[in-house]
């Protein structure tokens, strides 16, 4: 076994600004993804209304809502292969082009088919972004800010969602799409200018370029740290994709893959996609009258942004596990409250005096979901795997994230028709609460550790398991 020197934590803002710049570029990409999601709630409510500029049926609205997740699945599959062959930086650069075409399709839409194409293309950009940025950010960031940097990027989603809700309420679809091309262009320009990840450049043998990239990203690191990275990448390299897949039979990597799969399941099947896409419609059906449903959506979005910035601070101080436990408990509580409200509606149609219940449940959900369930899965994905397995891990994450998101979104309306809203939200609550024991017993804490140190911890755990089992396991 090769023992690598520890890379010291970088302490000053002047040394870390290139990493924050690249994180901000990825956050801009996530703002665009948030715009896509924020678009759904006000625009679908308008398209289903009596004064619709483009009349559609509830079935067509369901497809408009869910087709983005089909694109997301496709993008999630493509992203890790692109990262493997082109690098994380170039992948993020290329993502801007299908996203821009999607917005253009939305701008010229005069038939629902244009919206189908737009949502698939934008969804592909979303899936590719979610698959690529954790790998890229995990490679270029210092351990002392890695969790905060991933959290910063993920916070772009709620911020974009809030902007999308506001824009969708007051602007036409055409104007919305044209404005959304601006942040799309910004993140494309950022990733046209910054260097590629030194991990990727070392991996493909471009040593001179890798050394320059390392010096650009890590201003205070020296030759010793660069050599440690070069050795780490070289000892982690695997020549073929088939051999890479075979390595997932090793217990520590198989366990890490299952953890990623389950985390994304909890993230999506706890109801977030249904909530985001149908939030205004849910509030309307909840008979909220004291305040406009669109205003409640905006208030919840603003609260989620504030909590997202709090999470940037807390994730490196409280750790991943505590945030995920608190987030799961809060999300489950919000869903229980909403289910109770819909039960009360069935018993007493005059529900106005209890408007506070659905309003507070929507806000509580957005606050607690953004505190942990939104950010922790991508953070863990960026940390658990060695360099040569990151692309395959992202493939697992992309497929599971896109697949679960599609299942959650497409199943919402059929579940409501079959069970009623109250049982649907209680089902979501039960799924969210199951994340707590999983986090306590199965999720490793990666706070403040280098990627090399995390692999040493996983390797140590594997040895202990083999010893307890009578030295059985892989050779």
pLDDT of residue 166: 87
pLDDT of residue 350: 66
Tokens read off for 49: 């209304």
Non-local CB neighbours of 241 within 8 Å, separated by 6+ positions: 392
Q: Are 53 and 47 in contact (CB under 8 A)?
A: yes
Q: Are 187 and 26 in contact (CB under 8 A)?
A: yes
pLDDT of residue 170: 86
Question: How many Cβ atoms are within 10 Å of 70's Cβ, its own excluded?
Answer: 22
182 burial level (CB within 10 Å; 0-12, 13-18, 19+): exposed
Give, for all 475 residues of the chain, the pLDDT tens digit.
333 334 444 345 567 788 888 888 888 998 998 898 888 878 888 888 888 888 888 888 888 888 888 898 888 888 878 888 888 899 999 999 999 999 999 999 989 999 999 999 999 998 888 878 877 887 888 877 777 887 788 788 888 988 988 898 888 889 999 999 999 999 899 899 889 988 888 888 888 888 888 888 887 776 777 777 777 777 665 555 567 777 888 888 888 889 999 999 999 898 887 887 788 888 888 888 888 888 888 888 888 888 877 887 788 788 889 999 999 999 999 999 999 999 988 887 665 567 888 999 989 998 899 888 988 888 888 788 876 777 778 778 878 887 888 888 888 888 988 999 999 999 999 999 999 999 998 888 888 777 777 777 777 756 555 555 544 433 2
pLDDT of residue 99: 94
pLDDT of residue 206: 86
Q: Are 308 and 322 in contact (CB under 8 A)?
A: no
Q: Which sign does the torsion angle of CA 188, 193, 197, 200 carry?
A: positive
pLDDT of residue 352: 55
pLDDT of residue 14: 62
Domains of the chain: 13-206+244-468 (1.20.1250.20)
Question: In angstroms, what CA-CA distances link 163 with 157, 169, 289, 297?
Answer: 10, 10, 23, 11
pLDDT of residue 241: 57
């Amino acid at each position: 076994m090769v023992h690598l020197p520890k890379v010291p934590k970088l302490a000053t803002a002047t040394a870390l600004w290139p990493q924050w710049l690249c994180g901000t570029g990825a956050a801009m990409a996530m703002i665009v993804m948030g715009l896509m999601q924020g678009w759904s709630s006000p625009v679908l409510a308008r398209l289903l209304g009596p004064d619709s500029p483009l009349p559609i049926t509830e079935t067509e609205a369901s497809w408009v809502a869910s087709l983005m997740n089909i694109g997301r699945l496709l993008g999630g599959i493509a992203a890790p292969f692109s990262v493997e062959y082109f690098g994380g930086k170039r992948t993020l650069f290329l993502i801007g082009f299908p996203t821009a075409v999607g917005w253009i399709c939305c701008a010229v839409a005069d038939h629902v088919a244009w919206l189908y194409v737009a949502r698939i293309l934008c969804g592909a950009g979303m899936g590719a972004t979610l698959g690529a940025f954790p790998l890229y950010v995990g490679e270029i960031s210092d351990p002392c800010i890695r969790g905060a940097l991933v959290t910063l990027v993920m916070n772009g989603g709620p911020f974009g969602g809030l902007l999308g809700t506001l824009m969708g309420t007051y602007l036409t679809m055409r104007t919305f799409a044209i404005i959304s091309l601006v942040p799309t262009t910004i993140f494309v320009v950022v990733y046209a200018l910054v260097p590629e990840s030194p991990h990727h450049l070392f991996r493909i043998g471009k040593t001179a370029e890798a050394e320059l990239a390392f010096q650009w990203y890590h201003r205070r690191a020296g030759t010793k740290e660069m050599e440690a990275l070069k050795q780490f990448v070289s000892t982690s390299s695997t020549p073929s994709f088939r051999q890479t897949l075979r390595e997932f039979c090793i217990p520590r990597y198989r366990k890490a893959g299952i953890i990623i799969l389950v985390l994304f399941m909890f993230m999506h099947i706890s109801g977030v996609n249904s909530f985001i896409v149908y939030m205004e419609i849910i509030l309307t059906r909840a008979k909220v009258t004291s305040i406009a449903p669109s205003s409640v959506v905006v208030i919840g979005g603003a609260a989620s942004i504030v909590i997202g910035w709090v999470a940037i601070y807390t994730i490196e101080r409280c750790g991943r596990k505590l945030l995920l436990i608190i987030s799961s408990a809060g999300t489950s509580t919000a869903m229980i409250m909403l289910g109770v409200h819909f039960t009360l509606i069935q018993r007493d149609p005059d529900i106005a005096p209890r408007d506070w219940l659905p309003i507070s449940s929507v806000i509580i959900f957005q606050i607690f979901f953004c505190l942990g369930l939104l950010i922790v899965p991508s953070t863990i994905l960026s940390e658990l795997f060695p360099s040569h397995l990151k692309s395959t891990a992202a493939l697992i994450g992309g497929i599971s994230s896109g697949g679960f998101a599609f299942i959650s979104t497409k199943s919402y309306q059929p579940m409501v028709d079959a069970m009623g809203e109250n049982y649907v939200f209680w089902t979501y609550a039960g799924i969210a609460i199951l994340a707590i024991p999983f986090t306590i017993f199965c999720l490793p804490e990666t706070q403040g550790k280098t990627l090399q140190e995390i692999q040493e911890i996983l390797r140590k755990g594997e040895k202990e398991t083999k010893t307890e089992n009578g030295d059985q396991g892989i050779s």
